[in-house]
Amino acid sequence: MAEEKKYTENTAAVLKADSLKRIYDVLESEETPFEARVQKAAKGERLVTISTEPQHIQHFTNVLNKCKGV
């Protein structure tokens, strides 16, 4: 069993539920290590939290912002 990595930094955004496919597609091709968590925030909205290493946090913030704008 692989050792679980604990990341100290995270970024989050509330996305429309119909934007989830887009974020999943983007993250599927991502090479930078990360962990993602999706929670229901409200009807039709999901809170997506991405945890990663500090040097990659801005990259994932940009990814979330782009998916938010879809």
Token pair 């912002």 is at which residue?
65
Give the mean model confidence (pLDDT) for residues 13-39: 95
Query: What CATH number does the domain containing 16 carry?
Result: 3.30.1370.10
Q: Is residue 4 part of a domain?
A: no
Categorize the per-residue pLDDT at 25 as very low, low, confident or very high, splitting at 50, 70 and 90: very high
The pLDDT of residue 70 is 57
Range of the domain at 63: 9-68
User: pLDDT at residue 6 above 60?
Assistant: yes
The pLDDT of residue 68 is: 86
Give the strands of the sheet with 45-52, arranged side by side: 9-16, 45-52, 35-42
Look at residue 18 and tell me if it is in a domain: yes
Is residue 30, in this structure, part of any structural domain at all?
yes
Residue 41 pLDDT grade (very low, low, confident, very high; cuts 50, 70, 90): very high
Q: Tell me the three state secondary structure of residue 18.
A: helix
Q: Considering Cα of 35, then 61, then 9, then 37, what sign does the dihedral take?
A: negative
3 located within any domain: no
Contact 20, 38 (CB under 8 A): yes
| Structural domains of the chain, count | 1
